[in-house]
Amino acid sequence: MINLIAACTHTLDALKRFWHLETTYKTASNILILIFLTSLILIEFNRQGMLPKMLATHISHSHFTAIYIAFLLVLYMEIISMIFTLPESMSRALGKQFEILALIFLRNAFKQLSDLTEPLSLTHHQDVVYHIFAYGFGALAIFGLLGCYRIVLTKPDKRDKTILTGPCLNRFISAKKTMAFCILLIFFGMGVLDLWLISQKLNGFDFLQSFYTVLIFSDILMVFLAQGVLPQFQAVFRNSGYALATLLMRLSLTTSVYYSVSIGLSAMVFALLLTIIYNKFYSRLHE
């Protein structure tokens, strides 16, 4: 068991180093550009009836779908980056999840464009414009609140003095890295399963909603793991509150546009207030 945990830890560290290489970022950027341009070309060919019938059934007729696909890939890249932040701290990982939520709102805004005709016409589509505004301003609000959240997190002397050190802390870090590695495997496993279902013309599942459900359970597990090194009430409350914020984010993905944005913003405000209150009243209790 110890060897397995060590293997997971070393593998995750190696993958993280590779993911943050400058060459990896450049390669990913070039692939995104290639996929975006290829999508535009295939959609145009499909509009002109130049694709084989078997392929044409899987290609959209709206050029705006290419934008949606590109943003979806950016979103998946951010999810991978978020998984690598999980072993660092719950607060930083939560901030990364809110970044992803903001990107989801932007993706949903661009997705609304596929309901419009080409060239663009708003006739009989006023509701689409309202949805774009809701998602756009929701993403902007989260983007601004994230700035406040990061300022609160980077305040000096915020480190909790109740944290235990030594072998107990090392085991906690190893457990978090092992959990992050398992979540990374689940992420790719769910992606492969979803693609396989689509290729077999079966009903797929909402990948993001399903993965956020996984994150809820991982955050709850993180609360229990953290209790071994942060056993005090204030730390347990803060970590449990962060898990609740993840739950609210998950709920925001399951409802209509305006409720989705409202719940997502409420989750961001909740996390921000929780962090401010913790830093103000609890983080120095044991100095």
- Which tens digits make up the pLDDT trace of 99-155? 999 999 998 888 887 766 666 666 666 788 889 999 999 999 999 999 999 998 865
Q: What percent of the chain has pLDDT over 70?
A: 86
Mean per-residue pLDDT, 67-83: 88
pLDDT of 164 over the 60 cut: no
The model carries a pTM of: 0.82
- Which tens digits make up the pLDDT trace of 274-284? 999 998 887 66
Residue 275 contacts residue 91 (beta carbons within 8 Å): yes
Q: What percent of the chain has pLDDT over 90?
A: 34
pLDDT of 30 over the 80 cut: yes
- Which tens digits make up the pLDDT trace of 191-240? 888 878 877 766 767 788 888 888 888 888 888 888 777 778 888 898 89
Residue 268 contacts residue 145 (beta carbons within 8 Å): yes
The closest alpha carbon to 239, from 81, 88, 85, 89, belongs to 89
